[in-house]
Amino acid sequence: MRRLRNPEGPLSTLATVTESRGKELYVIVCAAEPAAEVGRLVAMAQEEGWIVQIVATPSALDFIDVPALERQTGRPVRSRYRKPSEPKPPRADAIIVAPATYNTINKFAQGIADTYALGVLAEAPGLGIPVVVLPCVNEALAARIPYRRSVEELRADGVRVLSGLDWKRALAEFGSQDQGGVEPDTV
């Protein structure tokens, strides 16, 4: 790990950058109960050689243990756009949205980028970054036409929308990190 000097002060944790040793996996976390367990997904991804960057929606910050995730990843949890004085993070090689809420799924499908997390998601398909979405939506919301339409639109845009919160399956969608490829979509 190397540290970059923050021009506005001494070396800081927020200016810490992990040297690239593998591929970058962004885990976008939304405000839902399973968010508290996202550290398990991080550990699984790290075991497979991924370098993990947590991106949380503003509401998700109340659902996760930010300091623990920062220790686990060696990186700050991102929830806002960076300031010009802050280092630019590496581009994601793949993205998992888990848990993905009704609100985030619908906004992602519509291209709405009103938070940092949604801004990252809005660009991903256009940049060719594979995205896997693990919805955490109750039956009443999942039955709604706007939600079903959003899932169809995301799939048409190449986004993999899986059922359930199977983190192992989400990682498997990207194939072996060492092979550098993405296996065909089986959903």
| Superfamily in which the 24-173 domain is placed by CATH | Flavin prenyltransferase-like (3.40.50.1950)
Give the mean pLDDT of the chain.
Answer: 86
pLDDT tens digits for range 100-117 = 999 999 999 999 999 999
Delimit the domains of the chain by residue range: 24-173
What's the CA gap between 153 and 163, in Å, rounded? 16
pTM above 0.75, yes or no: yes
pLDDT tens digits for range 69-110 = 999 999 999 999 999 998 888 999 999 999 999 999 999 999
Kindly tell me if the per-residue pLDDT of 49 is higher than 90: yes
